[in-house]
Amino acid sequence: MADAAVATASDRAASRPRYGSMSRDRRWALRWSYFFLILFAIFFLTPPIYMFITSLKTSAEISAESNPWWVYNPTLSNYIELLTQNTYLTFFRNSAIVSVITVVITMTISVIAAFALARMRFWGSATLATGVFLTYLIPETLLFIPLFKMFAWVNETFGIQLMNNWWTMLILYPTLTVPFATWIMIGYFASIPKELDEAALIDGATWMQTLTKIFIPVALPGIIAATIFTFTVSWAQFLYPLAFTTSTTELVLPVGIITTLIKGDVFNWGQIMTGALLGAAPPLIIYAFLMDYYIAGLTAGATKG
Amino acid sequence: MADIAARGPAAVTGDSRSGLHKLMQRKSTIAFLMALPLIVLILSLVAYPAGYAIYLAMLNKGMTRFVGLGNFDFLFGRETFWMVVYQSCLFAITAVIFKAIIGFVVAHFVHNIPSKGQRKWRGMLLVPWVIPPAMSTLAWLWLFDPSYSAFNWILANFGIDRVPWLGETGWARFSVILVNVWIGAPFFMIMYLAALKSVPEQLYEAASIDGATWWQRIWYVTLPMMRNIIAITALFSLIVTFANFDIVRVLTKGDPLNTTHVFATWAFRVGIESGDIPLGSAVSLFMVPILAVAATFILRDISKRGSEV
Amino acid sequence: MAQVTLRKVVKKYDEVLAVRGIDLDIVDKEFIVLVGPSGCGKSTTLRMIAGLEEISDGDIAIGGDIVNDVPPKDRDIAMVFQNYALYPHMNVYENMSFGLKLKRTPKDEIERRVKQAAQILDITELLDRKPKQLSGGQRQRVAMGRAIVRDPKVFLFDEPLSNLDAKLRVQMRTEIKKVHQKVRTTTVYVTHDQVEAMTLADRVVVMNAGLIEQVGAPNDLYHSPATKFVAGFIGSPAMNFLPCQLEQAAGALRVRLSDKLSFPVPSDRTARYTSHAGKSGLVLGLRPEHIAETRPHVEPNQHDFDMAIDVVEPMGMETLVYFTINGTEVCGRVNPNAGAADGKPMKLRADLSNMHLIDDASGKVL
């Protein structure tokens, strides 16, 4: 009885606006927040969920008139077909090798360079730091044409065929990843107190020992963030492989899916969605496990420095 | 005389100090060597190609003859070029504005809910940013499919006619912007959320005591405090959006009738697919002015922040 | 044996002179404190001794060897930093042993030394903790432990207590003094806090604007400062500086502070001051504790005067009174029971036997 009275009282209170009641305002703000968050979550998650739905369908079901948002006869045949197909596995392997080696190259170059720029100072080092940042702002869409021509010239002059080789990506991708990784590593290194390297200096460490024994362990979160970023960018890169590779044996995933699974006007949507979803899996898995580092790297890029 | 006497000992000790001095010099030599791979990379694969692009843009199609500004002259006379200019600006500006608004709104909602749930929501809402754009755009391409569009199926249930998402100029432009907003808004959300968290709670309390309404608190406290982050994020995004390639390439390839081409995709079509490298180079160079302006503002903001610290 | 000698040491940053040629002899086992306001060059001096800054001119010798061009690690010094600079990813044991490990000291030797240092500092039970898990005072101890372990010729402390709260600072001050008594290593300690300087030092070096103002035992600096800067810097509340004239009348000297107020100069100072009589730009320096309430019996060189008190600040064991003489604010320390009150007149007594006469232009105490 008492409960009911309270309930109706609060219902009535909720139905018309009351001023001066902080907690009631807050509760409504909270409800609206959740309401809109759900709406936005639907907006943001629909495409990947739809990818998943489609990937479970047969071609027959895809072209049927039935509800596209529902799977009536779920099947794994798309997955099985792709994962037993040599071309798709080649794309995946190419992507994996290119991304992992790019990460190694990028982190080696940028961690060492960032340490020199953040701590050791030399003639022109401040200009170089700014230069690194500017390079990071230059998009690949500005560079692919001159690079295309340069690579043709290398072939004519030295007889080294850089076109249509997956390993050419190892030359191209670092142009995208090194400036950014260096930039955020400069930020992380600069946030380490100066006294720490002085203490190491007095303790008798060389510059290399200071880097490997003090700076790298202390800046580990930054290094993880930069590594994740480098991997994600390499994995997702689309323009360079599209412009520089054509043979199916040399393609990486994004280009491979688009050029081989789409044959003329025939779209095998079940397989395309499956391929795209599997291709999106590595970054998503890394993100799921290392979200905090991922986000730290994301915000550091624009705020550090 | 006194001058010489004063200088004498300094010169002598200067010699005896050459050891540490040499050490310091060696330090900068080592530092230079440590940065050398970076320098070589930037010079040979970024700075040189960027300059080379300008040279290339001034050659004829066969790259046998120097034509000066001939390519630019040719471009100015083509209707497609002006369409690309228009679409590039429309695409970048509209998309950035919507990304900023949506990012700000969503960040606010995430900031509003209890902090223990924020991580989960933030994690979910960032997914579009994590999926490689070429892959997620494929999902949109499928959602926009002319005969099987899942969106049209829903609309049909409400009795609305099928929408030619990618088939008509207006809708196709809307669609590429929509996909770009979908991919980029989460990035704004994350940046703004970080900025929101850095606004001291006391400021809001002070504003509430001063009688500020919810809207006034945002206008007079939140926005001014976040101004720098808002500006930097928007400028970053402007650069990336203006130079975007993946979305348009996968979604429309510039169709219908080149109306959705942006500089990057059109440069690819002209330079790589049609084999006119100088002309493609000239097209891509039109991205430079906007990029330069945005970069200047970013650098100014960042150095300003540097001097504040 | 580790004396530290600085000869005409100069530090130039571009064209700015941070240290303008200083000479200093630090004897073995001595505890020297460099004190001065920020920007006086004290930290730069310490960092030059450490080898973290190149010296622009002059010589620095440690243990008799000139170390101008010796890198820090070969100078056999240890340094404790203001923010401790503990390696955040290493535990206390690893922090303390890092330097020894780099020098390839045998493992059992490292362990023996770390254990010993930990014992001295009472941090044995903290050895496997990370710096993050330690309190400010504990971090301070570990930083000292890291220095002790290396058994260097010289300890260098760069404002090591300024990050601690007031209570802990006093405690750690005693701790540092105790450690020094145990290990007896030559120590150079930089601080801006004159109380720290006074309590810790065998000898205090007061620096100002890149130069040494005075070197001396704490009490010497307090009682016979050489310059106005030292007189004003050492002691709290600071010494009063009152513009004055020195008048010679009937064979006796008087310091005149205003039309109405003048005091006779103590007879033992007359000979020293006579030549300055009538000069302009003289300042009388008198510490607040030498201006007290009047007492019934007369004492030599102590003179009563009447003053309207502006402000009274009770401190508990004493009361500070502020009043104005000829436009200059003056502070005195009176007994809490002396009845001082805001805006009330009071009879005070100045003890001229502790006066200092200063030439304002040169800043020298006469």
User: Is B135–A62 a contact, with Cβ atoms under 8 angstroms apart?
Assistant: no
* Band of pLDDT at residue A280, cut at 50, 70 and 90: very high
User: Is A193–C72 a contact, with Cβ atoms under 8 angstroms apart?
Assistant: no
* Cβ neighbours of A214 in C, within 8 Å: 87
pLDDT of residue B8: 34
> Structure tokens of C2?
């580790």
C274: which DSSP letter?
G
pLDDT of residue B254: 82
User: Is C87–A198 a contact, with Cβ atoms under 8 angstroms apart?
Assistant: no
* Band of pLDDT at residue A27, cut at 50, 70 and 90: confident
pLDDT of residue A304: 37
The shortest C-alpha distance from C139 to chain A (Å) reads 14
Mean pLDDT of C98-102: 91
Whether A19 shows a pLDDT value over 60: the answer reads: no
Interface check B250 vs A, CB under 8 A: yes
Pick A204's closest partner by Cβ from C50, C85, C99: C99
Interface check B306 vs A, CB under 8 A: yes
pLDDT of residue B301: 75
Interface check A214 vs C, CB under 8 A: yes
Q: Quick one: CA torsion of B74, B76, B77, B79, rounded to 10 degrees?
A: 120
A191: which DSSP letter?
T
- C274-294: buried (b, 16+ CB within 10 Å) or exposed (e) per residue? eebbeeeebbbbbbbbbbbbe
* Share of residues in chain C with pLDDT > 90 (%): 53
* Per-residue three-class SS string for C28-90: CCCEEEEECCCCCCHHHHHHHHHCCCCCCEEEEEECCEECCCCCHHHCCEEEECCCCCCCCCC
Q: How many CB pairs under 8 A join B and C?
A: 31
Mean pLDDT of A217-237: 92
Mean pLDDT of B71-90: 91
* Residue C96: closest C-alpha in chain A: A203
pLDDT of residue A9: 42
* Cβ neighbours of C79 in A, within 8 Å: 198-199, 202
User: Is C72–A199 a contact, with Cβ atoms under 8 angstroms apart?
Assistant: no
* Residue C70: closest C-alpha in chain A: A202
Q: What is the pLDDT of residues C295-305, one digit of tens each?
A: 888 888 888 99
Closest listed residue to residue C47, CA positions, set A299, A202, A260: A202
pLDDT of residue B66: 86
> Could you identify the residue written with the tokens 């103590």?
C266
Give the Cα-Cα-Cα angle C286, C290, C292 (nearest 5 degrees).
Answer: 130
pLDDT of residue B14: 41
Q: How are beta strands C186-191 and C154-158 bridged, if at all?
A: parallel
Q: What is the pLDDT of residues C220-242, one digit of tens each?
A: 999 999 999 999 999 888 999 99
Q: How many helices (H) and strands (E) does chain C have?
A: 9, 22
pLDDT of residue B195: 87
Interface check C133 vs A, CB under 8 A: no
Interface check C99 vs A, CB under 8 A: yes
The shortest C-alpha distance from C222 to chain A (Å) reads 34
The shortest C-alpha distance from C12 to chain B (Å) reads 13
Distance (Å, whole) CA A92 – CA A86: 10
A218 SS3 class: helix
B230 SS3 class: helix
pLDDT of residue A21: 52
Pick C99's closest partner by Cβ from A198, A203, A214: A203
User: Is C81–A217 a contact, with Cβ atoms under 8 angstroms apart?
Assistant: no
Distance (Å, whole) CA B251 – CA B140: 8
Domains identified in chain C and CATH numbers: 4-224 (3.40.50.300), 240-365 (2.40.50.140)
* Cβ neighbours of C78 in A, within 8 Å: 202
* Cβ neighbours of A208 in C, within 8 Å: none
Q: What is the pLDDT of residues B9-42, one digit of tens each?
A: 333 344 444 555 666 667 788 888 999 999 999 9
pLDDT of residue A10: 43
pLDDT of residue B20: 59
Q: What is the pLDDT of residues C134-193, one digit of tens each?
A: 988 899 899 999 999 988 999 999 998 888 888 888 888 998 998 899 888 999 999 999
Pick A254's closest partner by Cβ from B27, B134, B294: B134
pLDDT of residue B290: 85
The shortest C-alpha distance from C67 to chain A (Å) reads 14
Whether A305 shows a pLDDT value over 60: the answer reads: no
pLDDT of residue B5: 35
* Share of residues in chain C with pLDDT > 70 (%): 100
* Cβ neighbours of B18 in C, within 8 Å: 69
- Report the first-to-last Cα separation within chain C, whole angstroms: 38
Of residues B115 and A115, the one with the higher pLDDT is A115
User: Lowest mean pLDDT: which of A25-29, A202-206, B172-176, C45-49?
Assistant: A25-29
H or E stretch at C208: strand C203-208
H or E stretch at A171: helix A169-190
Most A CBs within 10 A among C52, C103, C105, C155, hence the mutation to make, goes to: C52
User: Is B135–A279 a contact, with Cβ atoms under 8 angstroms apart?
Assistant: yes
Pick C71's closest partner by Cβ from B9, B10, B23: B23
User: Is B291–A142 a contact, with Cβ atoms under 8 angstroms apart?
Assistant: yes
Q: What is the mean pLDDT of chain B?
A: 84
Distance (Å, whole) CA B119 – CA B234: 24
- In this prediction the pTM is 0.83
* Cβ neighbours of A200 in C, within 8 Å: 87, 98
Q: Quick one: CA torsion of B192, B195, B201, B206, rounded to 10 degrees?
A: -90
pLDDT of residue C276: 86
Distance (Å, whole) CA B252 – CA C179: 76
Cβ contacts of C58 within 8 Å, gap of 6 or more:
B13, C6, C7, C8, C9, C10, C21
pLDDT of residue A126: 84
User: Is B47–A37 a contact, with Cβ atoms under 8 angstroms apart?
Assistant: no
Q: What is the mean pLDDT of chain C?
A: 90
